[in-house]
Chain A
Amino acid sequence: MPIKRPDAIAYSEVTPESVMAARRRFLRLAAGSVAALALSDLQAAEKLAPALRSRFSADEPPTPYRHVTGYNNYVEFGSAKEDPAELSSGLRTRPWSVVIDGLVQKPRTLAIEDILKLAPIEERIYRLRCVEGWSMVVPWLGFPLSTLLKQVEPLGSAKYVEFTTITQADVMPGVRRHTLDWPYHEGLRLDEAMHPLTLACLGLYGEVLPNQNGAPIRLIVPWKYGFKSSKSIVRIRYTEQPPQTTWSALQPSEYGFYANVNPAVDHPRWSQARERRLGEILKRPTLPFNGYADQVGQLYAGMDLRKNF
């Protein structure tokens, strides 16, 4: 008796990946994104639901959404805190890709759509301490940067990674006025970049990153001053030497390569001993490594943190 073979499945019947991804996102949302649900009627922005809650999250109340998205340093859009929120709507975030090159076996270019699918999205509630003396608590969304970095195979000589932010001069008034040496460059030592706290950040408060916060992909290094956490990243380059970073190039005495949050080492123009948490009146003491000393302190064992500020 002949056994009838099942018909081959036509490609037209295969669920398109976008639909599958959308369904997965929907399921994640339904499965338990309390934050996203609570906020769903507040913004029309594209949702990005976390699948995991991270054990690294701080147990502190997040700074209100309007402050997180209304008080920003993104100098490409201007130097006032309100400028990025007011002037960044023209930033083109699609199509977007990130080049990973430098000292690697084979450079790669990853589309943002593919990056979004590299790993489950986690919610990480981190403290953010600005070098200017203010701080906030932000529910970021993303996955460990190491996941992204492992998409290429670095050479043995690679010791650092450099991050480059996009420049779109036509929509970035600060770029046209040459306030800093664009494009914005930042860098990390490889072990800092691979540390589980270091985040490839894709969203906040249950939605994709607003432009003023560094859409569509940015870095978050919670134990360093905010300027180390590059926004709107287009290139990650493995290097052997410490990359030249934008702020350090502008004023080496004020901004070091490491820029670890350190209450004992003042910025030449102001004390770093205390900080104003947005929404609070009294300043609070600043913690070494922004409160992440237990997790990252060993990265700097034996180093003179006054010299390597």
Chain B
Amino acid sequence: MTNLLSWVVLGAALLPGAALAQSGHDHRGHAQSRELPAPPPVFPTWMDDRGADHMFYKPGPYNWSIRNVPQFAADMYGTGVGHGIAYEALVTGQADKLEGPIYDSIVKVLKNPPRLPIDEGAILPTFKRRYGELEKVFDWAHTLHFQTIDVLAHRGWTDAQKEAEIERIWQFYSAQPYAITGLPLNMEVLDGYSYSGAFRTKYPKVNGLFWGYHWLQTANYDMLYRTPVETHGPQYQVVGERYRETELFNTEREFMPMTGELSPRFAKRFPEIANSFDNLHMLHDNVNDILATNELTEVQKKQQIRIAIWRVLATTHQGETAGEGEANSLHDHRYPFGMPGMGWMKGATESEMYMSGMGWMNMEECGHCSIRLPSGDEWGATVSANGWTMMVRCMLCARDMASETIGKAIIRAATEDPKQTLVLISDELGNWTSNLPEIVFLEVKADHPECNDWSKVFTSRRAFDAYIAENPDYKDAQPIALSEWQTRNEGTPETYRRINRPSPYQRNGEVGP
């Protein structure tokens, strides 16, 4: 990786006009550098403000629409309680109970989550007094989380209205000093300090819960984005089940969940918001590690948490640009091809990155046939199954990918009508139900580079006929009903390519007999 990035820097430096932003501070956090980060010359003044500086939601008719999916709302409220109980334990001398009775008490709450949001001050009073500036950043970012969800879950607005309001919410959020940057940050750098990994090593079960919360907080966006509100409840039956039964208790994940990994469509459309969520979640990881490490005094912990906050603030990166920056530094704002809503990951190249549970992937390519993804109104589909979400080119790719995966699945797909997104939900046997009752499929198997031409879904027979009339190559094709379509399986496309590289996290996932 070091050599790779050296080449990147060298290559960029040799090219005319190479854009390598110079940091105002030498705050390089080179991967594997075990130096303790130094503070900036000056912290933002608000960080020393003793006032509560409490802010609230941007007014709007959509607020609290998350409650349209009651179980989802409750699970999201539960994540706040879970975070709070753990943080309070870490600062009140109860760290030794974290993996035992405190873990049990958190799980009890998560299994019986609150029906209303809980003020975190009631759960972590000591932590809030000690790290008030951190709570301001957390609270404000959590407000961004909830308000963007509320807009997407709101009934009665068009997708265009929702997207415009989400842009306004981002501006509302970004205007405050506590805002986290929407620029992609280098995740390897931010997870490469001397204390990094301390929490997940000492408290793997509670770390699993934290990453489970962050899984839910990122996986939900593609569930909601440009999908009909009446599908949100049925979709959440699958997503919520996965969250409550598996993701919360997953201690095998190698890195925190990323928004672009779990909600790729939302992350492509709103990269700044996706990046801010990932940066928020990395701040959580940094804080957890700082609190868990034995190598720091209490004074040093306070200082390091302030530095961790400063690192991700929008003001720290003011004037910088996505896609630019000094490689392998705090100001490295590169992102992978095809995914502006994701920072640089450990071991990544410009087109390939490793995702825990998914392996190496190219976010510009179909997860099933490895052909470049389409764009625009005919964007293809996404498949959510087994805790991951992958983008695919066509309905065949979506179906076959889901049918080769254990468990329930969700396909979200473009139809001929940009205003109608198909949402298919399958049971454990691969039997699909559709939100659009009259759908028919075209499937005339040919080469995969054209699969999004010959494998499509239409909202009606009439739309199918119109497509056939415009595409005489398929004049002999018959419309396929969902009941027949779901029984098909064409196996692995000849174009599929596997990226044969080991995990950069070097964990051995073998299980024993």
Q: Do A and B come from one complex?
A: no
